[in-house]
Structure 1
Amino acid sequence: MTTELSGTGVTPRAGIGRVVWYRGTTDLEDPPDPATVDPDEELAAFESAQEAAHEELERERERTSERLGEDEAEIFDAHRAFLDDPEIVGGIETAIENGLPAPHAIRRAFTDPIARFENLDGPMAERADDLRDVRDRLLRLVTDGDRMDLGDLPDGSVLVAERLTPSDTAQLDADAIAGFATIFGGRTSHAAIFARSLAIPAVVGVGEELAQVGDGRELVVDGERGTVVIDPDDEARNRVSVAETPIVADHVSTADGDEIEVAANVGTLAELDVAAEQGADGIGLFRTEFLFLDREAPPDEEEQYEAYTAALSAFPDERVVVRTLDIGGDKPIAYLDTPDEANPFLGERGIRRSLGPDSDLFETQLRALLRAAADHEDSDGSLAVMFPLVASVEELDAALSRVESVAEELAEEGTTHAVPELGVMIETPGSVFMAEALAERVSFLSIGTNDLTQYVMAASRENERISDLHDPRYPAVLRAIRRTVRAGHDGDAWVGMCGEMAGDPDLTDLLVGLGLDELSMSAITVPDVKANVPEIDTDDAAERSDRILAAETREEVVRLLSVEDAE
């Protein structure tokens, strides 16, 4: 009989296959009498396992960097740090001195650190999985346990586990596996992040009922709906068969001939290939802060230049929009002197830091960007640069002045450069109200709906207690979007959107009706949005958007969207 279980979908993809269970934790029997334990022998066994773990992590880091990019690979740097953490190593050594064999000492030393992370809120709780990954690796090595090769699963397998660690997920072959489902885990876990990067159907946090699904059972993993279906019936099978939208490499236009650029958001160089494979019309948001995270010092000008030219080379005939460094809020950087603010989302972040304490970093980044822009002047593609979290005309004027001064410095040095197309991210109410004045100074505006919704609705993205308010379908947010589009066009700028809203296929008609020229999203949603655009008549969509924007409540907006979809 068909059974459906709910969890958290992490990729808008569905797959069907046969269950392969993965149980990564090494089981231990009760420890022996301490009098029978040789501490020197057990300490040597631990140190040997620790050394072998370092070697494994280095190999996995290199492999992950090649497949997914440097940012994803750097999680293994954190694992190596856990291997040498004085608290953990000291706990293992003390337990061994007190008569525990190395495996039991390892398990005991990791217990409290894992529990501390589990008691934290939000993404930090997911770091407990990193500690489990290091613990289980040490246990396997110290006990000479076998490791299941997750990169060699039978084609069409659905991997099911209690939880998957980063090193587990990094092994998966995206071309072979039909999907995975876990009992525990959240949307911000590294397993979920890897699944999105690899475009693998995945549902996490399904719960203990998933443990009753045995090896070989047929299972549907629906990352769009956030469900797994055991022994699927024809209806569940059909949902999988229609889930794969054909990839369209060419640009798409509405039924009446208005071209809508459908681009991709990326945070790593590895995601460029995925974006190209999904038919993206260039890059609408290159999050450069990922070049700066999880390292001991910022990237220098040459490293940044190479990253930006790599992005341009991946899309030689398209536009690549690079966002300047956007840190602060939920993206602190350890080697920078970031303040401990009561409300960091309303504090020193984005362009505020670039014009203030991080001005040297900003100048280095601009130098690299202007050099990269010159390298592609003769191609059909182009580089564009946009400034994050602008709230006033004064901030934009200061940023534009900085670009001008950097260009002058490069000219004086005789360094080849070009000033790219410049734009502003619209994320604050201040930028919405000043959108026309901003547009008169730049070539484009790009609406970041994640932050715009947060600031319009006064609802922190990190506060789960008010998560209902973080919905761009609230009338206030929709009206802010329309105001921005009209003001941008009045100021002779094109207007795009790079927030999660842009990648929702159910909202494509509304966004076209609001007048957006470009939509940029996670690469795996590009085919679905591209498939919708040719079915839309621009004038009809504009009339429908007028009716929706007249609504006064989110519930009415949702109802009207459903009515329009049914027509």
Structure 2
Amino acid sequence: MAERTLSGVGVTPLSGVGTVVWYRPDADLADPPAAEDVDATTELARFDDARTEAEAELKTERARTAERVGEEEAAVFDAHVQFLNDPQITDGVTDAIEDGLPAEHAVEQTFSGFVEQFENMGGRMGERADDLRDIRDRLLRLLSDGERVDLSSLPKGSVVLAERLTPSDTAQLDPTRVAGFVTVTGGRTSHAAIFARSLALPAVVGVGEGLQSVDDGTEVVVDGEGDRLVVEPDEETKTAAAAEADVHVRSGDVETADGVGIEVAANVGTLADLESAVDRGADGIGLFRTEFLFLDRESPPDEDEQYEAYVEALESFYHDRVVVRTLDVGGDKPVPYLDLPDEENPFLGERGIRRSLGPDSALFETQIRALLRAAGSADGTRLSVMLPLVATLDELFDARETFVSVSDDLESEGVAHEMPEFGIMIETPAAAFMADKFAPHVDFFSIGTNDLAQYVMAAERGNERVSDLGDYRQPAVLRAIDATVSAAEGHDCWVGMCGEMAGDPALTELLVGLGIDELSMSPVTIPQVKEAVTKTDTESAEAFAAHVLDADTKDEVVRRLADDDSPAQEN
């Protein structure tokens, strides 16, 4: 048969060739017995036993995921435990059992209602529907003594096809055995997509019901960069995919075709990520998320624990820059031992620097002490520190004053330390508008395009209903980036980017043309971005960027990005 193509959303710029293995965990329950034949006491005991066993499994999976994938990704299992013990859910199941349903049917009925409720909410709340399905399926398996499909031991070269993959499913996948996965549903911000990027797995999601036509055992190509699944590929397609999979890792610094150096660094969310960043050829760390040090514990890390973590990162990249972001909690990053407010819209509330200068000021000072000590260590000469969600000059000045005060304390105590390179993240429209005022007071800007797009476009990231509006290819977002770079000109202030946009090799020429000095991303895309840098001529890139910036709509931006025959490209 001739090859055919199914389109979806590629979530990693990787390709894989393999054989289809369908994963269908859902099993229909038989009709329940008559209510008078159900012993409610026995069924309630079975439900409680299943919950206890499910919680134990979740804690084990959380620890394994934190080690294999990352602390930030593993935090999803904390939410699962909370759902498992949520009184609305447990009371719903209990009521259904007391009304005469067996435990399995009571779980199915109760969870179905909540799944539908969350799906109708859309956005990040809509994504919680998959979390609920994950917990439901776990409970049903335990109640029925069913065998769990072991996705960690699939035959080598398997391509997993599924309606959807839950966090528990995706965390099992072994990149040495699985050539990729494809799902009917999902988007770039789904848990499956996030895990795929962390595991460096080729993946395409959101293919739609057409995926059901692909049979077990069929040979396929998962083309994450081309946003497609190729069914029964010909030899030419397989050869091209295999060539793309054979990534050439550049361990040294890279330059554009005309000799302009561009730093290509890694975003790191756990110490376990350091090895992956080194292996993929990162030129240092452009975003060291410190939240992982503060999660999944009963109390915050002390100064020495933080110091050791920062020094470990510096030792992994002793010739390169390591940019550490101070604690960024609030919004979608709760910390159990902090008194975080229950805010109606947490993304517009007390998060990032607002907490560090407010209720978390003591934690902030402890973190600064550890950072200044790390900067003063033997390998700390290239430590940089940046502040999240800065919106005003007052926040910048107050934070800088805290750094000076902590430095004075360390000096009086005779503790070795240094002031690190100091910068801010450009994530808010306010920071972009005021970048010319910030520039004289900082050493660098780091543009966080995920939040910047969300705030510029007033479109919550992760909300699939407004995902097109919140795209970083919107003209307003590109102009905010351009304004930031322009504001830094004439000052001793370099400009980096650590949002998802930085890791898209299709946009490397545009970003070089806009004047970005450093690009930081998930380690999985570093080789492709480095390759794109070497093929870019800065003069042509600048003309290309001007051409793209002149677009009035996102559709026009997309067309100009894809137009190899544009006037800018011909320069």
The aligned counterpart of 2:260 is 258
Show the counterpart of 2:54. Answer: 53
Paired residues for 1:209-228 under 5 Å: 209-228=210-229
Match of 1:541? 541
Superposed, 1:300-379 pairs within 5 Å as 300-329=302-331, 331=333, 336=338, 345=347, 347-375=349-377, 378-379=378-379
In structure 2, distance between residues paired with 1:539 and 1:256: 9
> Per the alignment, in what secondary structure is the counterpart of residue 320 of structure 1?
strand
Q: Which runs of 4+ in 1 moved over 6 A?
A: 340-343
Paired AA for residue 101 in structure 2: L
Mapped to 1, the partners of 2:225 and 2:62 lie a distance apart of: 30
Question: What CA distance in whole angstroms lies between the structure 2 residues aligned with 1:385 and 1:195?
Answer: 29
Task: Note closer, same or farther for the CA distance 1:331–1:225 as it changes in structure 2 (3 Å cut).
Answer: farther
Distance 1:468 1:27 in 2: 36
Q: CA deviation at 1:18?
A: 0.9
* Code of the aligned partner of 2:355: R
The aligned residue for residue 106 of structure 1 is 107
Please report the RMSD computed on the Cα atoms of aligned residues, expressed in angstroms. Answer: 3.1
Partner deviation per Cα, 1:417-447 (whole Å, 9 max, x = no partner): 3221111223344434543443332222222
Deviates more, 1:402-411 or 1:48-57: 48-57
CA distance, structure 1, for counterparts of residue 476 and residue 88 of structure 2? 50
Superposition deviation, residue 179 in structure 1: 0.8
Work out whether residues 203 and 223 of structure 1, in 8 Å CA contact, stay in contact via their aligned partners in 2: yes
- Report whether the alignment pairs 1:386 with 2:348: no
Q: Kindly state the Cα deviation for residue 267 of structure 1 after the two structures are TM-superposed.
A: 2.6
**2: CA distance, partners of 1:39 / 1:432:** 61
Partner residue, 1:173: 174
Distance 2:218 2:277 in 1: 33
> Does the residue aligned with 2:181 lie in a helix, a strand or coil?
strand
Secondary structure, aligned partner of 2:121: coil
State how far apart, in whole Å, the 2-side matches of 1:346 and 1:384 are.
Answer: 27
Any conservation in 1 of the 2:315–2:379 contact (CA below 8 Å)? Answer: no
Three-state SS of the structure 1 residue aligned to 2:137 is: helix
Matches within 5 A, 1:84-233: 84-233=85-234
Tell me if structure 1 keeps the 8 A contact 2:70–2:269.
no
Q: Partner letter of residue 323 of structure 2?
A: V
Structure 1 residue 277: deviation in Å?
2.0
Confirm or deny: 8 A CA contact 1:26 1:139 kept in the other structure: no
Report whether the alignment pairs 1:505 with 2:505.
Answer: yes
Alpha-carbon distance between aligned partners in 2 of 1:301 and 1:369, rounded to the nearest angstrom:
9
Which residue of 1 is the match for residue 525 of structure 2? 525
Q: Distance in 1 between matches of 2:249 and 2:108?
A: 47
Q: TM-score, normalised by structure 1?
A: 0.89
Alignment of 1:235-314 (within 5 A): 236-244=237-245, 245-292=247-294, 298-314=300-316
The 10-residue stretch of structure 1 (326-335 or 488-497) with the greater mean CA deviation from structure 2: 326-335
Which residue of structure 2 aligns with residue 446 of structure 1?
Answer: 446
Could you tell me how far 1:284 is from its partner in structure 2? Answer: 0.6
Amino acid aligned to 2:529: V
Task: Compare 349-358 and 10-19 and name the one that shifted more.
Answer: 349-358
Q: 1:104 to 1:329 in 2, by over 3 A?
A: closer
Give, in whole Å, the separation in 1 of the partners of 2:127 and 2:547.
Answer: 42
Counterpart position of 2:14: 13
What are the Cα deviations for residues 469-528 of structure 1, in whole angstroms up to 9, with x where unaligned?
444445554454344334424112222222223222222223223332211122222111
Task: Give the equivalent residue in structure 2 for 1:484.
Answer: 484
Q: Deviations for 1:140-183, whole angstroms, at most 9, x for unmatched residues? A: 22222122211110111011122222221111111110111222
Distance 1:46 1:261 in 2: 54
Distance change in 2, residues 1:183/1:542 (3 Å): closer
Paired residue type of 1:419: M
CA displacement, residues 116-162 of structure 1 (integer Å, 9 cap, x when unaligned)? 22222212222222222222222222222122211110111011122
Give, in whole Å, the separation in 1 of the partners of 2:229 and 2:485.
Answer: 40
Unaligned runs of 5+ in 2: none
d(CA) in 1 for partners of 2:73 and 2:556? 41
Contact kept? 1:117, 1:127, Cα under 8 Å: yes
What is the alpha-carbon distance in structure 1 between the residues aligned to residue 65 and residue 38 of structure 2? Answer: 39
The separation in 1 between residues aligned to 2:439 and 2:466, in whole angstroms, is 33
Work out whether residues 71 and 291 of structure 1, in 8 Å CA contact, stay in contact via their aligned partners in 2: no
CA distance 1:160–1:248, change in 2 (3 Å): same
Task: Indicate the larger mover: 356-365 or 250-259.
Answer: 356-365
Cα drift, residue 400 of structure 1: 0.9
Separation in structure 2 between the aligned mates of residue 445 and residue 171 of structure 1, nearest angstrom = 37
Q: Does 1:423 align with 2:409?
A: no
Give 3-state SS (helix, strand or coil) of 2:244's partner: coil
Distance 1:459 1:110 in 2: 29
Conserved? CA contact 1:499–1:520, under 8 Å: yes
> Residues 187 and 464 of structure 2 are in contact (CA less than 8 Å); yes or no, is this contact kept in structure 1?
no
Describe the shift of the 1:339–1:17 C-alpha distance in structure 2 as closer, same or farther (beyond 3 A): same
For residues 100 and 170 of structure 1, do their structure 2 counterparts lie closer, same or farther at Cα, with a shift above 3 Å needed? same
Q: Structure 2: how far apart are the matches of 1:479 and 1:172?
A: 40
